[in-house]
Structure 1
Amino acid sequence: MTHKPEIYISVDVETAGPIPGEYSLLSIGACDVDDESRSFSIELKPINTNADPKALEVTGLSLDELAIRGETPEAAMAAFGAWARSLAGEDRSLVFVGFNAPFDWSFVNYYFHRFAGGNPFGFTALDIKAMYMGATGSTWADTRSSQVTKHLVPESRGDHDALHDAKHQAELFRLVRALTLKSELR
């Protein structure tokens, strides 16, 4: 069985709460890990008014404002899917990359299936935190963003803007991948 070359897409989301369906996906930011200029960003209309005030405070997003200026979930997921598929083309496989990927993945996967008929990433979600833990032998507690950033010293910083955070995550992924490659050479 031959495998297609992979393209790694860093994805970050901002949400109104901890779980999809009950809370809304509010924004998506994504970029090609190896070429951050190939990026995508979109804000979505909320699917309901449920919100964890702490989640909204962190993002600075407003459900009322997004209800006016956001894209419908159907349009947003169609656009995101088309963008991701355009990067992969026919000859590459998409790999979803996230920092604490289970959280971001759960919203993206739910929204793709509910509003777009399927997820172009399939079942591929790569977690930078788990990758870091394996590369460094750290504990799970040491995979917090503050600890990882302190160790890897990236040039970028996260700020709870989905696209900025996706680009920051892309840099972290490249730095962790470099650690992994160094340990393989030993």
Structure 2
Amino acid sequence: MTSPREIFISVDVETAGPIPGEYSLLSIGACSAFDPDNGFTVEVKPINDKFDPKALEVTGLSMDELRQRGLDPDAAMKAFSDWLATLDRPNDMLVFVGFNAPFDWSFMNYYFHRFMGKNPFGFTALDIKALYMGATGSSWRDTRSSKIAEHLKPKLSGTHDALQDARYQAEIFRLIRQNLIASG
């Protein structure tokens, strides 16, 4: 019997504030970490009117526009779940990969459980910042994306577009893994 494959999915979210439930998930971007052209993106209707102005300033998203064009949260999470299902086979393990994964995973976990009844990632979340810190021995302060990019020289950059950022994160993840393999 073969071991289950681990399917690494780079995920980025844009939100209306710092915590799920009180603030809305506004957009999801995801891609296969080793096939970043295979991506998914969706904008989500807010679940309430609460927002942190700084969060919206960073993303450039508008709560009013998302109420019009975003998918209802249940439809958005179903679409994301359906896309994830195209990537794995029975017994495979989906691994959530994020830059500051605790933040992004908390929104994904909340929304999947609230609107789908379960999270296809289970409790698997890999934090790129922690991986980088462990791989390089850097300080936590040096795990900012600008510092990591200075060291790894990725071709992409972060833009606060969820799909673009998921692809950027996937590149950072691959570069860290390549450096670990090369040095190990």
Q: TM-score, normalised by structure 2?
A: 0.97
Gaps of 5+ in 1: none
Gaps of 5+ in 2: none
1:75-94 to 2 correspondences below 5 Å: 75-94=75-94
Per mean C-alpha deviation after superposition, the further-off stretch among 32-41 and 82-91 is: 82-91
Per mean C-alpha deviation after superposition, the further-off stretch among 85-94 and 158-167 is: 85-94
- Partner residue in 2 for 1:10: 10
- Partner residue in 2 for 1:21: 21
- Partner residue in 2 for 1:46: 46
Percent identity among equivalent residues? 67
Q: Distance in 1 between matches of 2:180 and 2:110?
A: 31
AA aligned opposite 2:27 = S
AA aligned opposite 1:70 = G
User: Does residue 175 of the first structure (1) align with residue 175 of the second (2)?
Assistant: yes
How many residues end up aligned between the 2 structures? 184
Q: Distance in 2 between matches of 1:100 and 1:156?
A: 18
Q: Distance in 1 between matches of 2:6 and 2:12?
A: 19
- Partner residue in 2 for 1:163: 163
Q: Distance in 2 between matches of 1:19 and 1:180?
A: 33
Q: CA deviation at 1:53?
A: 0.2
User: Does residue 108 of the first structure (1) align with residue 108 of the second (2)?
Assistant: yes
**Structure 1 counterpart SS, 2:48:** coil
User: Considering only aligned residues, what root-mean-square deviation do their CA atoms show, in Å?
Assistant: 1.1
Residue-by-residue CA offset, 1:84-135 (whole Å, 9 max, x unaligned): 1210122521000000000000000000000011000111000000000011
- Partner residue in 2 for 1:132: 132
Q: Which contiguous aligned blocks of 4+ residues in structure 1 show a shift greater than 3 angstroms?
A: none
Q: Distance in 2 between matches of 1:3 and 1:12?
A: 28
AA aligned opposite 2:120 = P
Residue-by-residue CA offset, 1:134-160 (whole Å, 9 max, x unaligned): 110000000001100110000000100
- Partner residue in 2 for 1:119: 119
Q: TM-score, normalised by structure 1?
A: 0.96
Q: Distance in 2 between matches of 1:180 and 1:59?
A: 33
